[in-house]
Amino acid sequence: MADKRVILDQASVPGFPRGVKFRFNKTKEQWVIMAPERLLEPNEVAVEVLKLCDGAASISTISNSLAEKFQAPVETILSDVTEMLQDLADKGFLIA
């Protein structure tokens, strides 16, 4: 993990650290986050967000795409996305 806790904001560029894989399981037709001896089964909304975490797009860019896709206010999306990704970062599933 990081040397200190990463605090995410809209300029942060989230991605997956070493040992963490966001993958589609073909047999189960399900997206999962795999990490050292841990496994997360993100819900549909989280999957949409995580698909955009490519280590290049910022949280702001990600939120804009989602706001457009789901026809929702970008402020709400930005705050929800940041909160969700912060939680994942705190648990070691994400870096920025």
Count the residues of the shown chain that bind another protein, applying the rule CB under 8 A: 26
The stretch near another protein (CB under 8 A) out of 34-42, 46-54, 60-68, 73-81 is: 34-42
| Shortest distance in whole angstroms from residue 73 CB to another protein | 29
The DSSP annotation for 26-44 comes to TTTTEEEEEETTEEE---H
CB of 18 to another protein, least distance (A): 5
Q: Which residues contact 85 (CB under 8 A, 6 or more apart)?
A: 8, 12, 14, 49, 53, 59, 94, 96
Residues 8-27: x where in contact with another protein by CB under 8 A, - otherwise, as a string: ---------xxxxx-x-xxx
